[in-house]
Structure 1
Amino acid sequence: MRDHVITLIQSRRARIGVIGLGYAGLPLALRFAEEGFSVSGFDIDRVKVTAINAGRSPVHGIADSRVAASGMVAYATMEAAAACDALIICVPTPIGPHKEPDLTAVRETVAALAPYLRAGQALALESTTYPGTTTDYLLPALSAAGLTPGQDAFLLYSPEREDPGNPDGTVGRMPKLIAGETEACLAVGMALYGPVAGGLVPVSSLAAAELTKLYENVFRAVNIGLVNELKRLCHALDLDVHEIIDAAATKPFGFMPFRPGPGLGGHCIPVDPYYLAWKAKEVGARTDFIELAGRVNDAMPDYVIARLRDALDQRGRTLTGARILLLGLAYKPEVPDTRESPAVEIFRLLSERGAELSYHDPFVPSFPATRRLHGNAPDLESQALTPDILAAQDAVLVVTPHKAVDYAMVVRHARLVIDTRGVFRRPIPATLQGDTKGDFGSGPAWAYEHVIQA
């Protein structure tokens, strides 16, 4: 059976099914289509399915032309999965209200696939999750269908490594982890992913691949926690954290620079430390350092608001009734995604304190009130950024540093700027006239008296 499936894949006669057509699943499905495979996509979002079948991309950064040229067909139900020779699950794995793993999407996807599992299929999970998930959730479904991994079915884990907004951070250019339940499973997985990945990195077990993916993201979260703590210390010492980082980065070995900010955002980095901590508790281990970094990062929105409150106090204003404009709601520059964005938490906290809020984000045109705003707050739309709007604010908070923002205009017309990203650390030369895509100049001092580092 293994050799038959590998032959199907190598001859491009295997039909690929990708479940979850978001930032990870859609690029993967398109890569398979571009390599000559027949691809079926599955998603519970009927609007997304309709768009894909009409040749339109529902994912920012993926051109409509790629979707239209792919020939893939999308479905909102699973019946067509029975015809697929490989089924790849790319669904969200968020955290619950108590920061516990929420595998609802994985569980429901596996249950929906169960009637259509058959001999000769490869079943893969790409979602980031704790060690043991693939064997706990996918293996029982194969067993219930009378299938045995390595004999008549092939169980895989190969986590996504997409970096939204980065043209080099996509599956075709990225080395890809791959693990199988058995050696035969791994052989099928190597054949399956080889044509679409920027290299393969086989590891010894499903759990090893799951933990590797968590470690990649926890590494970043912990180091951001360290530099966020350093930023707070630098404030107490009246030092510039960015000067410290830049100076340390001149060491050619043993140091990797990370930048502070208003907290963690996105679908993985703020979430994955809690997946790892949860699994550690389950097996009686401790992750004190990881959990401490999580608390530091979670506290950053409160720190930003404290800096804003103090700056307003010095100007005879309070948060209640203050007119505050947030620059950026997305969790990172150049993307429209607000999942776990610290800007959303800052918005919520300021709203609770009675501030009059608005925002500008060229990638997030509207902000539904349901996104963690309290009370009966209305939906909001991104404000145009003009001198008059800036001058009317009591404070402008730089939260997400999109390149399209005219920071020269911001610094000229805003009365108070709270800079959480170091955008205004160096002076903006007058010759730039609002073009802030380059370096702002040189000099270690914070550049403007009405700009507060936070």
Structure 2
Amino acid sequence: MSIGIVGLGYVGLPLAMEFAEVGIDVIGVDIDAGKVAGLRRGHSHIEDVPDARLQGVLERCSFSTRFVDLHDAEAILICVPTPLNANREPELGPLLGSARALGGVIRSGQIIVLESTTFPGTTRDYLVPLLEESGLRAGVDFALAFSPERVDPGRTDYTIATTPKIVGGLTPRCTELAAEVYGRVCSTVVPVGSPETAEMAKLLENIFRSVNIALVNELAMLADRMNVDIWEVIDAASTKPFGFMRFEPGPGMGGHCLPVDPFYLTWRAREFDFATEFIELAGKVNKQMPYFCVEKIEQALNDVSKSVRGSRVVVLGVSYKPGVGDIRESPALKIIELLQARGAEVVYHDPYVAELPSMGLVNSDLDAAMVAADLAVIVTAHPGVDHEQIVRSAPIAVDLRGVTRGLQEPTVRQLGRAR
């Protein structure tokens, strides 16, 4: 048998590896010819897929830019990006383009599964008409389902194989067939009654995190003003063995899911004359965090009689989370933008990100970055970086992640603490 995968990014390529490693042939399709050429040579563009892992299954993988190569696959999994446009509305272009292309090549008996995060109704209302341009009927001639990706880049304790896989088909038989496909690589498959249930379950997962992060971020801003240590508050509340889940404040949300996915549901809700005020408020709070963090930096410099303009500010960590080089929606980018707009000389150190071309910056050696630094700010706390030593050596430091809260250094300012 063979599995076709459309979109070979952070979701599609790791999924391809899982199937290939259990002995299933994989046909990977992506419109990026450069990406495809690199994969054919055994070069991975995804951090979670080392070259050695790709090369170990290369004989079972073929990579192409042609959708027609998917015609003979038993199942086709769609893993294309679903970003937001400039107006914070769903950008379904890559998804709809893939569906149109598949409508010209699919055959009877295939199983089509959408993994891309989207709003409830996408599979039924958008994919069905486009795929049925093939002359085949969804749920009759081919199976159609939605199964949300649950990839967390850089994570090793929960993987594609060990994270339960939700599957919702257009019909019960569609669900059954799609579940059989994922059962070959996933230890647990969770069938649900419809694609809409699966689509909304994915959004609930990410909205839950977004709302709770917004809550603790708002409390951190309040605690800062009230001169209450938010970290001690969180530690104390976390001792409750029931009814509380720990979330920690930070400079904002980043990555391919949390800053984007909630807005898919808010957009869809408007079609039903429903305002998702709670969700939108959480997004507003989280988007304001970089501005608050820059204010903390300004206050810290002001405490030593310096202005932001002309000060050398060292940003430690620019990816959106520790241990990865993914800068999508990273709050560090907004913080750097705001600092540069205020006249600061910004340098950064991030062992996972070589350059930020749009900002005219390249990664600096840590020692070189700290030379003549006026302030160091910890935005993303990467493993292997001695943050405590950095704040001890910096004239003044701002810790936005709470990784140095055990120190009693008078030069350290922390998010959620007035000092």
User: What is the alpha-carbon distance in structure 1 between the residues aligned to residue 51 and residue 264 of structure 2?
Assistant: 35
Matches within 5 A, 1:103-122: 103-122=92-111
Matched residue SS, 1:189 = helix
**1:47 aligned onto 2:67:** no
Report the AA paired with residue 411 of structure 2. Answer: H
User: What is the alpha-carbon distance in structure 2 between the residues aligned to residue 248 and residue 26 of structure 1?
Assistant: 40
- Following superposition, the deviation at residue 236 of structure 1 comes to 1.1
Task: Choose from 22, 43, 47 the match for 1:35.
Answer: 22
Query: 1:45-68 CA distances to partner (integer Å, 9 max, x unpaired)?
Result: 222212221122221022222211
User: What is the alpha-carbon distance in structure 2 between the residues aligned to residue 118 and residue 168 of structure 1?
Assistant: 38
Q: 122-131 or 51-60: which moved more?
A: 51-60
Aligned-pair identity in percent equals 46
Native 8 Å contact 1:27 1:170 kept in 2: no
**1:128 aligned onto 2:108:** no
User: What is the alpha-carbon distance in structure 2 between the residues aligned to residue 79 and residue 146 of structure 1?
Assistant: 16
- Following superposition, the deviation at residue 121 of structure 1 comes to 1.2
Matched residue SS, 2:190 = strand
Give runs of ≥4 in structure 1 deviating > 3 Å.
none
Native 8 Å contact 1:391 1:414 kept in 2: no
Q: Paired residue for 2:140?
A: 151
User: What is the alpha-carbon distance in structure 1 between the residues aligned to residue 67 and residue 55 of structure 2?
Assistant: 22
Task: Choose from 395, 409, 415 the match for 1:448.
Answer: 409
User: What is the alpha-carbon distance in structure 2 between the residues aligned to residue 284 and residue 417 of structure 1?
Assistant: 47
Q: 293-302 or 57-66: which moved more?
A: 57-66
Q: Paired residue for 1:256?
A: 245
**1:177 aligned onto 2:166:** yes
User: What is the alpha-carbon distance in structure 1 between the residues aligned to residue 88 and residue 137 of structure 2?
Assistant: 34
**1:95 aligned onto 2:84:** yes
Listed as ranges, the gaps of 5+ residues in structure 2 are: none
Native 8 Å contact 2:375 2:395 kept in 1: yes
User: What is the alpha-carbon distance in structure 2 between the residues aligned to residue 149 and residue 411 of structure 1?
Assistant: 59
- Following superposition, the deviation at residue 188 of structure 1 comes to 0.8
User: What is the alpha-carbon distance in structure 2 between the residues aligned to residue 83 and residue 326 of structure 1?
Assistant: 50
Q: Paired residue for 1:363?
A: 352
- Following superposition, the deviation at residue 112 of structure 1 comes to 2.3
Q: 191-200 or 111-120: which moved more?
A: 111-120
Q: Paired residue for 1:383?
A: 364
Native 8 Å contact 2:313 2:347 kept in 1: yes
- Following superposition, the deviation at residue 391 of structure 1 comes to 4.5
User: What is the alpha-carbon distance in structure 2 between the residues aligned to residue 324 and residue 110 of structure 1?
Assistant: 47
Native 8 Å contact 1:149 1:182 kept in 2: no
**1:246 aligned onto 2:207:** no
Q: 36-45 or 358-367: which moved more?
A: 36-45
Matches within 5 A, 1:321-332: 321-332=310-321
TM superposition score normalised by structure 2: 0.96
Q: Paired residue for 2:325?
A: 336
Native 8 Å contact 1:391 1:413 kept in 2: no
- Following superposition, the deviation at residue 310 of structure 1 comes to 1.5
Q: Paired residue for 1:394?
A: 374
The number of equivalent residue pairs is 413
- Following superposition, the deviation at residue 104 of structure 1 comes to 1.5
Native 8 Å contact 1:175 1:201 kept in 2: yes
Matched residue SS, 1:418 = strand
- Following superposition, the deviation at residue 317 of structure 1 comes to 1.5
Native 8 Å contact 1:29 1:41 kept in 2: yes
User: What is the alpha-carbon distance in structure 1 between the residues aligned to residue 126 and residue 351 of structure 2?
Assistant: 40
Q: 248-257 or 283-292: which moved more?
A: 283-292
Q: Paired residue for 2:226?
A: 237
Task: Choose from 309, 313, 318 the match for 2:298.
Answer: 309
Native 8 Å contact 2:148 2:198 kept in 1: yes
Report the AA paired with residue 100 of structure 1. Answer: E
**1:403 aligned onto 2:392:** no
User: What is the alpha-carbon distance in structure 2 between the residues aligned to residue 368 and residue 101 of structure 1?
Assistant: 26
**1:417 aligned onto 2:406:** no
Matched residue SS, 2:145 = strand
- Following superposition, the deviation at residue 91 of structure 1 comes to 1.0
Report the AA paired with residue 215 of structure 1. Answer: L
- Following superposition, the deviation at residue 31 of structure 1 comes to 1.1
**1:205 aligned onto 2:203:** no
Root-mean-square deviation (CA, aligned residues, Å) is 1.3
User: What is the alpha-carbon distance in structure 2 between the residues aligned to residue 389 and residue 17 of structure 1?
Assistant: 46
Report the AA paired with residue 91 of structure 1. Answer: V
Question: Quick one: structure 1 residues 389 and 187, their matched pair in 2 at CA, closer, same or farther if it must change by over 3 Å?
Answer: closer
- Following superposition, the deviation at residue 124 of structure 1 comes to 0.9
- Following superposition, the deviation at residue 84 of structure 1 comes to 1.6
Report the AA paired with residue 404 of structure 1. Answer: G
Matched residue SS, 1:150 = coil
Native 8 Å contact 2:114 2:148 kept in 1: yes
Query: 1:187-239 CA distances to partner (integer Å, 9 max, x unpaired)?
Result: 11111111111301111110110000000000000000000001011101111
Native 8 Å contact 1:391 1:415 kept in 2: no
Native 8 Å contact 1:424 1:448 kept in 2: no
Matched residue SS, 2:104 = helix
Query: 1:387-416 CA distances to partner (integer Å, 9 max, x unpaired)?
Result: x64241111110000012122330221111
